[in-house]
Amino acid sequence: MYGGDHSAAFDAARQALHGGQAPQARALATALLSQAKSAGDLLTQARAFHLLARIEHQHADLSAALSLARQSAHLLHVLNIPLEESAALSHVAHLSTLLGLTEEAVESATLSVRLVDALPPGMHTVDAYNYLGVASIAVDAAHADKVLCKAVALAQDLLAPQAAVRPMSNRLFNELYRLELCRQQALPTVVRPVIQEELARYTALLDERHGLRADTTPFGAAMLRATLHTARAGLLAHSGAFDAALDAAEQIDLDAIPLWMQGFVHFVRARCQLAAGHWQAALATTHHTLAIAAAQGQIPFTLLSHYQRMEAFEALGDTGQMLREFRAFRAHQLQQQAETLISRERVAALRLAWREQTRAMEVLHSSTRALEQLTREDPLTGLANRRALELCLDDLLSQHPNQPAVPWCLVMLDIDGFKQINDRYSHVLGDHVLRQMGQLLREVVRTQDLAVRLAGDEFVLILRDTTEAVGQQVIDRLATAIDQHPWITLQPGLAVRVSIGLAQALDGDTSTSLLLRSDMRMYADKADKLARHFSRTAPLSPPAPD
pLDDT band at 539, cuts 50/70/90?
Answer: low
In this prediction, residues 54-65 reach a mean pLDDT of 84
pLDDT band at 438, cuts 50/70/90?
Answer: very high
* Statement: residue 545 has pLDDT above 60: no
Q: Phi-psi bin for 209: left (phi > 0), alpha (psi -120 to 50), beta?
A: alpha
Where are any strands of DSSP class E within 376-448?
Answer: 409-415
Per residue in 163-177, pLDDT tens? 888 898 889 988 988
Instruction: Please report the pLDDT score of residue 217 as a whole number.
Output: 40
pTM of the model: 0.62
Instruction: Please report the pLDDT score of residue 203 as a whole number.
Output: 82
* Statement: residue 424 has pLDDT above 70: yes
In this prediction, residues 365-379 reach a mean pLDDT of 70
* Statement: residue 361 has pLDDT above 80: no
Share of the chain above pLDDT 90, in %: 45
Please tell me the distance from the alpha carbon of residue 254 to that of residue 267, in angstroms, as a whole number. Answer: 13
Per residue in 102-129, pLDDT tens? 888 999 999 999 999 999 999 999 999 9
Q: Considering only residues 2 and 63, tell me which one the structure prediction assigns the higher pLDDT.
A: 63
Per residue in 229-272, pLDDT tens? 888 898 988 888 888 888 888 888 887 777 778 888 898 899 99
Instruction: Please report the pLDDT score of residue 240 as a whole number.
Output: 84
In this prediction, residues 86-97 reach a mean pLDDT of 93
Please tell me the distance from the alpha carbon of residue 231 to that of residue 212, in angstroms, as a whole number. Answer: 19
Instruction: Please report the pLDDT score of residue 487 as a whole number.
Output: 93
* Statement: residue 358 has pLDDT above 70: no
* Statement: residue 215 has pLDDT above 60: no
Per residue in 473-499, pLDDT tens? 999 999 999 999 999 999 998 999 999
Instruction: Please report the pLDDT score of residue 264 as a whole number.
Output: 85
With residues binned 3-state (H G I as helix, E B as strand, rest as coil), the percentages for the chain, rounded to 5, are 75, 5, 20
Instruction: Please report the pLDDT score of residue 220 as a whole number.
Output: 65
Stretch among 307-311, 314-318, 399-403 having the lowest mean pLDDT: 399-403
The residue among 297, 304, 400, 335 whose CA lies nearest residue 65 is 297
Q: Considering only residues 49 and 200, tell me which one the structure prediction assigns the higher pLDDT.
A: 49
Kind of pairing between the strands at 498-504 and 450-455? unpaired
* Statement: residue 211 has pLDDT above 60: no
Stretch among 57-61, 300-304, 326-330, 438-442 having the lowest mean pLDDT: 57-61
One-letter identity of residue 458: E
Where are any strands of DSSP class E within 18-156?
Answer: none
Q: Considering only residues 208 and 2, tell me which one the structure prediction assigns the higher pLDDT.
A: 208
Q: Considering only residues 115 and 221, tell me which one the structure prediction assigns the higher pLDDT.
A: 115
According to DSSP, the residues that pair with 453 across neighbouring strands are 459
Question: How does the average pLDDT of the chain come out, rounded?
Answer: 85
* Statement: residue 340 has pLDDT above 90: no
498-to-425, 437, 482 alpha-carbon distances in Å = 18, 10, 8
One-letter identity of residue 455: A
Q: Considering only residues 355 and 81, tell me which one the structure prediction assigns the higher pLDDT.
A: 81
pLDDT band at 337, cuts 50/70/90?
Answer: confident
pLDDT band at 218, cuts 50/70/90?
Answer: very low
Q: What is 386-534's CATH topology? A: Alpha-Beta Plaits (3.30.70)
Q: Which residues contact 158 (CB under 8 A, 6 or more apart)?
A: 121, 122, 125, 126
The residue among 460, 442, 534, 451 whose CA lies nearest residue 498 is 460
Q: Note whether 389 and 452 are within 8 A (CB).
A: yes
Instruction: Please report the pLDDT score of residue 333 as a whole number.
Output: 80
Instruction: Please report the pLDDT score of residue 366 as a whole number.
Output: 65
Share of the chain above pLDDT 70, in %: 86
pLDDT band at 347, cuts 50/70/90?
Answer: low
Best mean pLDDT range from 199-213, 249-263, 497-511: 497-511
Per residue in 14-35, pLDDT tens? 888 877 788 898 999 999 999 9
